[in-house]
Amino acid sequence: MSHQPYETWIVDPPPLNSEQMHSLEAHLEGCAECRGLRERWAHVRVALERPDMAAPRPGFARRWQAGLAERRLREQRRQAWKFFLACSSAAAALFVFLVAYLAVSTTPVEWVQAGVKAISSSAGYLTTLRDVSSTWAQVVPPVLNLAFWFSMAVTVCLLVFVWVFALWRTSLGGTIQR
């Protein structure tokens, strides 16, 4: 026996006209299954139409605020890690690309030649730098010399400070509380 549309009329009754009402009643007289459904649904419907709202434990908003600071910290750490991984991946990809490019475009002999050349030219640069420094120290007055080295030291300290601050901001301690 087909129970449609009677099942629908029982659990979600649309406005039924008299003909439909008669049809439903006639079906119910002969169908114990639909009669049972109607009876059971009547009980469930009463419960559903008077539902109570469950409430959280007191202090939900306070717990939210406490959790917010923690979540932000976690989010910031995740962002820092993402940034670090992205930079590392990009550097690794670039390195692999360069190695592959060099392996294809040059020979190992050329690599050795380039290495030796780089080492010898570095030695030459260092010698030149030493000569320039000693000449500078002899020509320039000591006060000016001291001022130059002092400003160099301050600049290096500032750069180190900026670097450490940037690391701190993007890692554990850098969470800014609004």
Partner 1 sequence: MSNLEADWLPKAIQGDQDAFTNIVETYQRPVFNLCYRMLGEALEAEDAAQETFWRAYQNLRRYDPARPFATWLLSIAAHYCIDQQRKRRFNTISMDLLPDEEVPDHAPTPEKVFNQLDEKGQLQKLLARLGPQDRAAIILRYWYEFSEEEIARTLSLTVSAVKSRLFRARKELAQSWEVQAAQNLPEGRKHESPAL
Per CB under 8 A, 73 contacts partner 1: no
What gap in Å lies between CA 167 and CA 165, rounded to an integer?
5
Closest to partner 1 by CB, 57 or 139: 57
90 — alpha (psi -120 to 50), left (phi > 0) or beta? alpha
Stretch that binds partner 1, among 54-62, 77-85, 114-122, 146-154 (CB under 8 A): 54-62
For tokens 């006060």, the residue is: 143
Stretch that binds partner 1, among 7-15, 17-25, 83-91, 136-144 (CB under 8 A): 7-15
Closest to partner 1 by CB, 57 or 142: 57
The CA-atom distances, in angstroms, between 139 and each of 20, 125, 133, 136, 148 are 114, 21, 10, 5, 14
Among 29, 67, 82, 122, binds partner 1 (CB under 8 A): 67
Q: Binding marks (x or -) toward partner 1, 25..44, rule CB under 8 A? A: -------xx-xxx-xxxxxx
Size of the site for partner 1 (CB under 8 A): 37
What gap in Å lies between CA 176 and CA 144, rounded to an integer?
43
Residue 158, token pair as written in the block: 């500032």
Closest to partner 1 by CB, 43 or 109: 43
Q: What is the residue type of 2? A: S
Measured from the CB of residue 70, what is the shortest distance to partner 1 in angstroms?
A: 10
In angstroms, how far is CA 60 from the centroid of its own chain? 26
